[in-house]
Chain A
Amino acid sequence: MHQLAVEIPYWGQSIFRVLGGLVAVLLPAGGIVYLFLFKMMSFMQSRLGPMEAGPFGSMQLLAEVGKWLQKEDIQPDNADKTIFKMAPVVVLLSTFLLIVVVPFGPDAFFADLDAGVFYFLAVGSVSVLGILMAGWSSANKYSLLGGLRAAGQLIAYELPMVLATLGVVIQAGSMNLNRIVEVQNTGEIFGIGILGNPFILTQGVGFLIFMIAVQAELTQPPFDMPIAESELVSGYMTEYSGFRFLMFFIAEFATAGVFAFIASVLFLGGWGVPFTWFGWENLDDVAWWMNVVGPLIMFTKMMGLVLIIMWVRFSSPRFREDQLQTFAWKFLIPLSLANIAVTAILKVVF
Chain B
Amino acid sequence: MTMMSDRQQLSYIASQAADARLNVELETEGMTLNIGPQHPATHGTLRIIARLDGEQVIWAEPVAGYMHRGYEKLTEVRTFPQVTTLINRIDWLGSFANEVPFILAAEKLMEIEAPPRAQVIRTILFELSRIANVSLFLGDLGVQMGAVTPVFLAFRDREYVLNLIEGATGGRFHPNFDRIGGLKDDLPKGWIDETKQVMKKLIGFCDENENLLFGNEIFQSRMRGIGVIPADIAKEYGLSGANLRASGVDYDLRRDQDIALSYDLADWKVWTHPDGDSWARCWIRLQETRESCKIVLQLLDQIPAGPIMTKVPRIIKVPEGEAYVSTENPLGEMGYYVASKGGLGPFRVKIRSASFSNMSITPWVLKGVYVPDIVTILASLYFILGDIDR
User: Which residue numbers of A lie inside 8 Å of B, CB to CB?
Assistant: 41, 44-47, 141, 145, 221-222, 224-225, 228-233, 314-323
Contact = CB atoms under 8 A, between A and B. Distances in A.
21 contacts: A45-B148, A46-B156, A141-B31, A141-B33, A222-B146, A224-B146, A228-B372, A230-B143, A230-B146, A231-B40, A232-B371, A314-B149, A315-B149, A315-B212, A316-B147, A317-B216, A317-B222, A318-B145, A318-B147, A320-B222, A321-B55
A317 B218 contact: yes
A231 B371 contact: yes
B149 A44 contact: yes
A44 B222 CA distance: 24
Contact of A319 (B35, B218, B375): B218
Nearest to A222: B218
B370 A314 contact: no
B212 to A, nearest CB: 7
A28 B209 CA distance: 33
Contacts of A222: 146, 218
B34 to A, nearest CB: 8
Interface string B313-326: 00000000000000
B160 interface: no
Contacts of A314: 147-149
B146 A229 contact: yes
B221 to A, nearest CB: 6
Contact of B148 (A41, A46, A319, A321): A41
Interface of B is mostly: helix
B153 A228 contact: no
B143 A323 contact: no
Contacts of B142: 317
A323 B55 contact: no
B358 interface: no
Contact of A320 (B33, B149, B370): B370
Nearest to A317: B145
A320 B372 contact: yes
A321 to B, nearest CB: 6
Residue in A46, A224, A228 whose Cβ sees the most chain B Cβ within 10 Å: A228
A45 B41 CA distance: 22
A141 B52 CA distance: 11
Contacts of A317: 142, 145-147, 213, 216, 218-219, 222
A45 B146 CA distance: 15
Given A230-B145, A318-B145, A45 B152 contact: yes
Contacts of A320: 221-222, 370, 372-373
Nearest to A319: B218
Interface in B132-156: 142-149, 152-153, 156
Nearest to B220: A317
Contacts of A321: 55, 370, 372
Interface of B: 31, 33, 35, 39-41, 55, 142-149, 152-153, 156, 212-213, 216, 218-219, 221-222, 370-375
Contacts of B152: 45-47
Given A321-B55, A322-B370, A233 B40 contact: yes
A145 B371 contact: yes
A222 B222 CA distance: 12
Contacts of B148: 41, 45, 314
A4 to B, nearest CB: 45
Contacts of B371: 145, 231-232
Given A230-B40, A316-B218, A320-B221, 20 more contacts: A41-B148, A46-B156, A141-B31, A141-B33, A221-B146, A225-B372, A228-B146, A230-B41, A230-B144, A230-B146, A233-B40, A315-B147, A317-B145, A317-B147, A318-B145, A318-B146, A319-B221, A320-B222, A320-B370, A321-B55
A332 to B, nearest CB: 15
Contact of A45 (B149, B370, B374): B149
Contacts of B143: 230
A46 B153 CA distance: 8
Contacts of A315: 147, 149, 212
B140 to A, nearest CB: 9
Given A224-B146, A315-B149, A320-B370, A230 B375 contact: yes
A233 B38 CA distance: 10
Most chain-B CB neighbours within 10 Å: which of A222, A230, A319? Answer: A230
Contacts of B218: 222, 316-319
A233 B31 contact: no
A233 B33 CA distance: 13
A309 to B, nearest CB: 15
Contacts of A323: 221-222
A221 B55 CA distance: 20
Nearest to A41: B148
Contacts of A228: 146, 372
Nearest to A315: B149
